[in-house]
Structure 1
């Protein structure tokens, strides 16, 4: 059995998004002030919690779209509540799961170009996934975990690890 770029991306991203949804659920059940959670930061120069969730979902849907060479789903970035963030995650999971293995044909060498102010990054698909998309995705999921933990939400490593693939 071969291990494809689909196998390295879609299941991992869905797992991470499910972890993110679980973190949101724990935050919602915590009884802590929702507005404070939404605007929480670990340092003054970092983006707030709400942005960390948005970026994680943007990375997820963007990675799959770029690797499968399909149109990315567009989200409005207008969430103001934990429930709205959770709905965003659920929509992102549905989008990611809608892209099948066949659409990843040639993804390993597919050209991926990212443009940022004053910078352009050019990758082949495999390098994009392993050196940019997944590390950034997990950075933002981890940051959400850290922000919630710092705010007092009762979380542990098991909440971050999510469902393990034991078989």
Structure 2
């Protein structure tokens, strides 16, 4: 049976690792072109931290909204992967029906933790991952579907 932990923390970890991988490829491309790369990432980490808070019932971790340099983006992503890795399955599972808050712009909502995971942080993270991917491709970074899918397919074996 798939649990709340299974559909939240590992999924968010894969999204975060994919973001790192795509950024690294973008950085390499920009360096080879002599271009600067100092603009990207905040929302994926901030939303992931809210996910951890809400599915575990833990304390919020502040993520200051500012423009991050590329090195700060890597540091933020590495830190967030560490935070995700520390989430104990037992602190999440069984909280499916726990009511949690969700703010979308100026509007505030409440949802079960399960509905929250499927309705806000996971779609938000995929949206922003897609934007990073599209922006980098639009700048000529040689990214393909394999770059996007690799982390999600890591458990696959070749037939």
TM-score category, normalised to shorter length: 0.7 to 0.9
Given candidates 95, 113, 119, the residue that maps to 2:83 is 95
| Match in the other structure for 1:10 | 9
CA deviations 1:71-125 (Å, max 9, x no partner) are 1322334454212101110100101111110101332111111235541111101
Aligned: 1:34 with 2:22: no
44, 47, 57: which one pairs with 2:45?
A: 57
Per the TM alignment, residue 134 of structure 1 is displaced from its structure 2 partner at its CA by 0.7
State the Cα deviation string for residues 122-145 of structure 1 (Å, max 9, x = none).
110111111212111100011110
Q: Secondary structure at the match of 2:100?
A: strand
Using the size of structure 1 for normalisation, the TM-score is 0.83
Mapped partners of 2:106, 2:14: distance in 1: 33
Q: Is the 8 A contact 1:73 1:95 kept in 2?
A: no
Question: Do the aligned residues in 2 keep the contact of 1:63 with 1:129 (CA within 8 Å)?
Answer: yes
Map residues 109-128 of structure 1 onto 2, 5 A cutoff. Answer: 109-116=97-104, 118-128=106-116
Distance (whole Å) between structure 1 residues aligned to residue 50 and residue 10 of structure 2: 15
What root-mean-square deviation, in Å, do the aligned CA atoms of Structure 1 and Structure 2 show?
1.7
Runs of 5+ consecutive residues of structure 2 not aligned to the other structure? none
| Cα distance change of structure 1 residues 134 and 116 upon mapping to structure 2, 3 Å threshold | closer
How many aligned residue pairs are there?
152
The 2-side partners of 1:142 and 1:152 are apart by 15
1:63-74 to 2 correspondences below 5 Å = 63-74=51-62
Structure 2 equivalent of residue 153 of structure 1: 141
TM-score by length of 2: 0.87
Q: Is the 8 A contact 1:18 1:162 kept in 2?
A: no
Cα distance 1:118–1:65, how it changes in 2: closer, same or farther (>3 A)? closer
SS at match of 1:5: coil
- Equivalent position of 1:166 in the other structure: 156
